[in-house]
Amino acid sequence: AAASTWSYYCLNPSSDRVNKAKANIKVYSHYELIQNGKTILRFDEDTTTLAANFMNRWALIPSCEGRLAACYNNSISRNHYLGKDADSIFKEKVDSLDSLYRDSKWKVGELNYYIHSHSVLDAGYNSICAYTQHELELRDSAKKLIDSLKHVQKKGHFKLKRSISYQAYYRDENGKWKSQACKLIKAMNGETAQGSHTFQLSSETTPEGVKAISPQLAVSLATAHGVTLRRSIDYTLLPDSLGYYRGTTDSIYQPNGHGCWQGYDGTYYEGY
């Protein structure tokens, strides 16, 4: 009877235990181009949030030791530069920076002309000023990076490196968010690119206030909870290849009435 009771307790956790098993894992990744042991360029920085659950290693034995289950598919980012040599990637990034700088420099010139020839009372003036500041920062950062790359030997055996780290976020016994570095220790389904993965806190201990659940339930809930981490769609924005519209629409969501249009090239219109 005791064994049956214990089995039921482990395999049918209360809602309180399930909530205390919940966690998030943030995956921080970026690429680096390295030359002569020195990082020349860092790019493609990305952060992915995974829904996770603390789990026991064995279903009927308290054996968490900081383990978490999460669904993670890194195949897209992991294979992004597959088949490309590092020298070609460096050239592409420099060309891209040059184009970005020239485009941003032209926009700043046009925007400054608008600002100096219009009044703060004009419709959209503040939005144009904010956009100008954004372009100024973009232009200056691109110029700074281009200047730093001028001294780089163009053909010098570049190496491409992908760096990745994991940070787990969970609530302690007081309900406050805590974080701790963690590591990916194995893919539960035997795959390395997608599916349910097992992570473990760097301390290899279960934090105070956290409850662990069975592996099967942890995986199932992590899959379901992942949907809640996706950003909701802002239906007030109607983006297309040229920019976006915000304002009133008709029954089929076409612009109709008062609204504003912000183009990716800096153009702005507000009215009816």
Lowest mean pLDDT among 87-91, 210-214, 257-261: 257-261
How many distinct structural domains can be found in the chain? 2
**Do 244 and 200 share a structural domain?**
no
Decide if 125 is inside a domain: no
Decide if 210 is inside a domain: yes
Decide if 247 is inside a domain: yes
- pLDDT given at position 192: 40
**Do 261 and 164 share a structural domain?**
no
pLDDT at 9 over 80: no
- pLDDT given at position 193: 39
Count Cα neighbours of 225 within 13 Å in the Cβ-side half-sphere: 23
**Do 217 and 240 share a structural domain?**
no
- Measured CA to CA in angstroms, residue 243 lies from 100, 207, 234 at distances of 17, 47, 15
Q: Where are the alpha helices (DSSP H) in 118-185?
A: 125-149
Task: Write the pLDDT tens digit of every residue in 26-39.
Answer: 999 999 999 888 89
**Angle at the Cα of 134 from the Cα atoms of 27 and 116, rounded to 5 degrees:** 175
- DSSP 3-state of 168: strand
Task: Write the pLDDT tens digit of every residue in 163-176.
Answer: 999 999 999 999 99
* Cβ atoms of residues 141 and 147 within 8 Å: no
**Do 272 and 183 share a structural domain?**
no
**Do 260 and 172 share a structural domain?**
no
Cα–Cα distance, 187 to 58 (Å, whole number): 16
Decide if 250 is inside a domain: yes
* Cβ atoms of residues 144 and 106 within 8 Å: no
Cα–Cα distance, 68 to 64 (Å, whole number): 8
**Do 65 and 14 share a structural domain?**
yes
What is the percent of the chain with per-residue pLDDT over 90, rounded to a whole number? 42
| Beta-sheet strands, E only, within the chain | 22-35, 38-54, 67-71, 159-171, 177-187, 196-201, 237-239, 243-249, 255-263, 268-271
pTM: 0.71
Q: Two tokens at 113?
A: 């002309």
**Do 40 and 21 share a structural domain?**
yes
**Do 265 and 210 share a structural domain?**
no
**Do 243 and 225 share a structural domain?**
no
**DSSP assignments along 177-221, one per residue:** EEEEEEEEEEETTS-SSSSEEEEEETT-SPPTT---B-HHHHHHH
Task: Write the pLDDT tens digit of every residue in 97-136.
Answer: 999 999 999 999 999 999 999 988 888 888 889 989 999 9
Decide if 29 is inside a domain: yes
- pLDDT given at position 127: 86
List the domain range (segments joined by +) for residue 270: 235-272
The dihedral built from the CA positions of residue 262, 266, 271 and 272, taken in this order, carries a sign that is negative
Q: Two tokens at 220?
A: 């199932």
- Measured CA to CA in angstroms, residue 53 lies from 4, 68, 116, 199 at distances of 25, 5, 55, 10
- Beta partners for 34? 39, 159
Domain boundary among 229, 244, 259: 229
Q: Two tokens at 177?
A: 């968010």
- Measured CA to CA in angstroms, residue 258 lies from 123, 127, 238, 250, 271 at distances of 12, 16, 14, 11, 5
